[in-house]
Structure formats: structure tokens, C-alpha cells
Amino acid sequence: MFELIDANIAKHITLSPQELDHFHSFLHVKKYKKKQFILQAGETSHFQGFITKGCIKNYILDEKGHEFIMYFALEDWWVGDIMSFYERKPGNLFIETIEDTELLTIDHQSNEQLLHDIPQFERFFRILIQRSAYTLQQRFFNTLSKPAEARYLEFVKKYPQVVQRVPQQLIASYIGVTPEFLSKVRAKLAKKSSKTEAGS
């Protein structure tokens, strides 16, 4: 039950068996069916989640109702609206399942208690946020500096499991183009690679 999350935490901090047990005592299991909301914009996020099974998308909606996907998350990822969770006010993120999904969650009060009882978690979550901020920065840079084709190829290389599991239109949203345009990019790539392979 806790193998995955324990291994995840062990990547950055080292806890005693007692501390681990204490940590586990704060966690709850939450289950969602496909296409359910875990969080909606306007709500205050009452928990952070760790995915033990399934797949979700985290996105913002603009005025016209277009989805802008901030990230996908599969097993072994943490999900949540960090600002809403820590500042205890309504956020602007949607979190929605793409498949049936199971989370381990920790609510706000438990989290405060955890940070107090095991200060190492303060460090753990700092590292988590730091890395996600870095990833976002790189992605922002890529989006401004590289054409859609390069961004798509990098996405496929970096997240092959996601490509298998989520519809193409969501990947279009992630890399920052319309579904129609991604389709055209892929058509061009297919033509290119068929040319290359035609060297018989």
C-alpha cells in the first residue's frame, strides 16, 4: 500500500520506521472514476495527493473555455494546487482524472502537523516544488524558443507513457498548439520518416 510513496520520499529524505508509520497515519485513500474532478477552479484545495494508480490532467481554463494543461500526472506523481492548499484560498486550477485513479491524500491540518512533527518534510516539499518550478521554467523557455514540431518530439521522448495513455488533443494543449495543428505536425513527421525509410 505505501511502498510507492515511501520509495518516492526516500529519494530526497531519510526517515526512521517510526517516522514512516507516523507519516502513514496522516494519509487517506481516495478513489475516482474516469473524467471526475478532483479539484475545480474557485474551490479551495483541502489536500495534496499522491497517485498510486491512474492518470490525471491539471489545467487552467481561459475565458473562451480553452484548456491549458499545466501537467499530466501518472503513478508516483504528486498532484495538487499548491498555492490554494498552502494559502487556503480559492485557486484557478482544475484537476480531472483521465482514467480511474487512486490517490493517497494528506489534508491541510495533517500536513501542518506532519511538517511540525517531522521537519524533514519541509525540506522534502521544498525540493518537490523546486523541481517542478525548474521543469516549468524549461518548458516555458522551450515553448517560446522552439517550434511546435520540436516540442512535440521532446514530449514524446520525455513522456512516452503519457503519449500511450492520453488523447492527442490533450498533448496538443500541453505543448501549446491546437489539436488540428498537432495533427498536421504529425502528418508532416510521418511523411518525413517514410521518406527516410524508403532508402531500400
Q: Which residues bind DNA (CB under 7 A)?
A: 147-149, 167-169, 176-187
d(CA 86, CA 110): 12
In eight-state DSSP terms, residue 94 is: E
Q: Binder to a second copy among 83, 163, 170, 189 (CB under 8 A)? A: 83
In eight-state DSSP terms, residue 45 is: P
Which contiguous run of DSSP H or E holds residue 133? helix 120-145
* Binding of residue 14 to a second copy (CB under 8 A): no
Q: Binder to a second copy among 1, 7, 29, 127 (CB under 8 A)? A: 127
Partner that binds at residue 42, options a second copy, DNA, none, CB closer than 5 to 8 Å by kind = none
User: Given the complex with DNA, which of 130 and 193 has the nearer CB atom?
Assistant: 193
Partner that binds at residue 125, options DNA, a second copy, none, CB closer than 5 to 8 Å by kind = a second copy
* Cross-sheet strand order for the sheet of 78-79: 28-32, 101-107, 47-53, 78-79
With contact defined as beta carbons under 8 Å apart, do 58 and 39 qualify?
no
User: Given the complex with a second copy, which of 35 and 126 has the nearer CB atom?
Assistant: 126
Amino acid at 83: M
d(CA 185, CA 8): 36
Binding range to a second copy, per CB under 8 A, among 27-35, 46-54, 66-74, 156-164? 66-74
Q: Binder to a second copy among 14, 16, 18, 145 (CB under 8 A)? A: 145
Whose cell is 474551490? That residue is: 43
* Binding of residue 161 to a second copy (CB under 8 A): no
Partner that binds at residue 136, options a second copy, DNA, none, CB closer than 5 to 8 Å by kind = a second copy
